[in-house]
Amino acid sequence: MKTFAPEVFLEIVDRMNRNMAPVMTVLMPCTMLSIIPLLLLSYHQRPMVFYLSTAAFFLFLVALLVTVVVEVPIVQQIVTWTLSTLPGNWRQLRDRWMRFHVIRVIAGVASLVSLLVAALF
């Protein structure tokens, strides 16, 4: 993202927002909810599955909170920008969004790995 010219950056963020927002609004809460039955079913019978699933749940919760609390507000700002209204600190906001995006991806992948390991048990 750092290498894109401002007009390309604005177009990419706008396109990603239009494509991802409707899907993620449904997908992320459904993913969180889908872990709950696994937690309930494994609680007494499979402690290792329960612990791994609990870790997955909390890691995904981190990803969800980063998305809702940090990333979405930044994207909502960015999609209102045009080349003529680009704020002076747009690079700092872009970089902040990217840092938190990395945190979200790491938490999401770690959550998935925890669920996959739990499935092996």
14 contacts: CB under 8 Å, gap ≥ 6: 78, 79
Q: Where are the beta strands (DSSP E) in the chain?
A: none
| pLDDT (mean) for 62-68 | 96
Residue 121 pLDDT level (bands cut at 50, 70, 90): confident
CB 74 within 8 A of CB 96: yes
**pTM to 2 decimals?**
0.86
Residue 59 pLDDT level (bands cut at 50, 70, 90): very high
Q: Distance between CA atoms of 61 and 31, rounded to whole angstroms? A: 10
Sign of CA dihedral 93, 97, 98, 102: positive
